[in-house]
Amino acid sequence: MSAIPPPPAVRLEAVSKRFGEHTAVETVTLAIAAGEFFSLLGPSGCGKTTTLRIVAGFETPSAGSVFLNEVEITERPAHLRKIGMVFQHYALFPHLSVFENIAFPLRLRRTEGGDMRQRVSHALEMVRLPGLAGRMPAQLSGGQQQRVALARALVFHPSVVLLDEPLGALDLKLRKAMQLELKTLQREIGLTFVYVTHDQEEALTMSDRMAVMDRGRVLQVGDPRSIYERPASRFVADFIGVSNFLPGRVREVGVEATIELDGGAVVRAGPEQLTVGQTVTIAVRPERTRLAGAPGEATVGPEGRWNVLPGVIRELIYTGSDTQYFVELGPAGVVMVRVPNDTPPEGRHQARPGERVWVRWEVGSTAVLLA
């Protein structure tokens, strides 16, 4: 595990992009490793697409540098970068057949005829569309068009493929299937993918690592697990999945941090870089919380220690796979507790609105966010 990490395939160094008064990208620094599936995630207008377009060469950064395999390409025109790109609306050439669309980059490189045909048909097989070479783009479904666009972006062996919300125009079922397929394909060919999406679930499912962006800035970079479990800010915790937020103040720091919530209840968190008296927000995922009928039952955790808070059930919603309880914890606020409907009997608490319950979660599942 002590091997030297491979040089990054794509590196951005303090890249900014301003359009007049508006700053679309603000000092973004990123290193994307070769062979990595890297996602840029954020709400619309967060600068993720502009960042991708800077890597593609469609936008020139106002400041900062872009490197491809550690060679600076900041000023290099798009057509000399050898970076594949897949667009949300496919951008297939409507006047060319599927074959000619995929052969387009090969013809520009004057690939010899036999070799070209072989590479086109290989690319079509890779995206599982053999036999459609003669069709025109308008005769294909959205999913098929996206596969052709992908084949076209792969066929000239680019060192990086950029994908700008490539599944955004597909319906949900097809999108799920394509997510898996894209990920498998990427792993098989071992190519670097930079993937832009506003869909946090998509980013979590597919990425090796991801960057969460907001208002032109990168807020957090990490693998899906660390981003989900250890969000660095309220924005990230809120944007990725669902979180319960409870405001409080740091009372003690040490091996554990102790935080006093509004109303006086006390919860504990792991060792965090905190100072006594600081105003913080704790975040807890609904699926990490449990309900119990009595505090005693709650404190006897199978492993580790638990935060236990008394509350009153205000609402419960059955969603099929699980049940969501909205529990009022007094002045501290309302938390959502998600209990899978297949939880073994001892963990399942049959509760009704108005009933007094105890909400508990592991100390280690408590994320502490500054303000």
Partner 1 sequence: MRHRTWPLPAYYFALLALLYLPLAILLLFAFNSGTILVFPLKGLTLRWFGQLFATEALMRSLRNSLLVAAGSSVVATALATCGAIAFVRFRFKGKGLFITVALLPLYVPFVVLGVSLLLFFSTLGVPRSLLTIGAAHSVVSLPYALLIVTARLVGFDPHLEEAAMSLGANYWQTLRRVILPLIAPAIVAAWLTAFTVSFDEFAIANLVVGREPTLPVYLYSQLRMTSRLPLVVAMAAVVMVGTLSIFLALAWLRRILASTPASAAGATSALTARA
Comparing CB distances to partner 1, the nearer of 97 and 233 is 97
Contacts with partner 1 by CB under 8 A: the residue count is 30
- CA–CA separation, 214 and 236 (whole Å): 9
| Distances, alpha carbon 306 to alpha carbons 9, 63, 115, 268, 303, in Å | 43, 48, 64, 8, 9
Task: Choose one: 10-18, 89-97, 308-316, 350-358; the region binding partner 1 (CB under 8 A).
Answer: 89-97
For residue 110, give every residue at least 6 positions away whose Cβ sits within 8 Å of its Cβ, in sequence order, or none. Answer: none
Pick one of 76, 89, 135, 175: the residue that binds partner 1 (CB under 8 A): 89
Does the footprint of partner 1 cover residue 157 (CB under 8 A)? no
> Is there a contact between 34 and 192 (Cβ–Cβ < 8 Å)?
yes
Pick one of 3, 22, 44, 94: the residue that binds partner 1 (CB under 8 A): 94
Pick one of 29, 109, 296, 317: the residue that binds partner 1 (CB under 8 A): 109
The gap from C-alpha 338 to its chain's centroid, in whole angstroms, comes to 22
Burial (Cβ within 10 Å: 0-12, 13-18, ≥19) of residue 22? exposed
Comparing CB distances to partner 1, the nearer of 42 and 57 is 57
Does the footprint of partner 1 cover residue 137 (CB under 8 A)? yes
Q: Which of 64, 347, 30, 331 is nearest to 209 (CA)?
A: 30
* Min dist. Cβ of residue 79 to partner 1 (A): 5
Does the footprint of partner 1 cover residue 79 (CB under 8 A)? yes
Instruction: Take residue 79 and report the two structure tokens written for it.
Output: 């057509």
Does the footprint of partner 1 cover residue 264 (CB under 8 A)? no
Does the footprint of partner 1 cover residue 77 (CB under 8 A)? yes
Task: Choose one: 12-20, 78-86, 127-135, 191-199; the region binding partner 1 (CB under 8 A).
Answer: 78-86
Does the footprint of partner 1 cover residue 84 (CB under 8 A)? yes
| Dihedral angle, C-alpha 152, 155, 159, 165, nearest 10 ° | 20
Pick one of 24, 28, 85, 191: the residue that binds partner 1 (CB under 8 A): 85
Comparing CB distances to partner 1, the nearer of 90 and 228 is 90
Comparing CB distances to partner 1, the nearer of 32 and 140 is 140
What one-character DSSP code corresponds to residue 114? H
**Strand runs labelled E in the chain:** 8-19, 22-33, 37-41, 63-68, 71-72, 83-86, 160-164, 192-197, 209-214, 217-222, 244-252, 257-261, 266-269, 279-284, 289-292, 306-318, 322-328, 334-340, 356-362, 367-370
* Min dist. Cβ of residue 73 to partner 1 (A): 13
* Min dist. Cβ of residue 75 to partner 1 (A): 15
Does the footprint of partner 1 cover residue 61 (CB under 8 A)? no
* Near partner 1 in 26-55, by CB under 8 A: none
* Min dist. Cβ of residue 162 to partner 1 (A): 8
For residue 59, give every residue at least 6 positions away whose Cβ sits within 8 Å of its Cβ, in sequence order, or none. Answer: 17, 50, 53
Comparing CB distances to partner 1, the nearer of 101 and 323 is 101
- CA–CA separation, 352 and 247 (whole Å): 27
Instruction: Take residue 291 and report the two structure tokens written for it.
Output: 């309900």
* Min dist. Cβ of residue 173 to partner 1 (A): 25
* Min dist. Cβ of residue 15 to partner 1 (A): 19
For residue 254, give every residue at least 6 positions away whose Cβ sits within 8 Å of its Cβ, in sequence order, or none. Answer: 271
Pick one of 31, 91, 169, 334: the residue that binds partner 1 (CB under 8 A): 91
Dump the DSSP string for 121-172: HHHHHHTT-TT-TTS-GGGS-HHHHHHHHHHHHHTT--SEEEEESTTTTS-H
Name residue, tokens 């899906």. Answer: 224
> Is there a contact between 137 and 145 (Cβ–Cβ < 8 Å)?
yes
* Min dist. Cβ of residue 100 to partner 1 (A): 10
Pick one of 83, 127, 250, 282: the residue that binds partner 1 (CB under 8 A): 83
Comparing CB distances to partner 1, the nearer of 14 and 19 is 19
Does the footprint of partner 1 cover residue 93 (CB under 8 A)? yes
For binding to partner 1 (CB under 8 A), which residues are involved? 56-58, 77-85, 87, 89, 91-95, 104-105, 108-109, 137-138, 149, 152-153, 156, 162
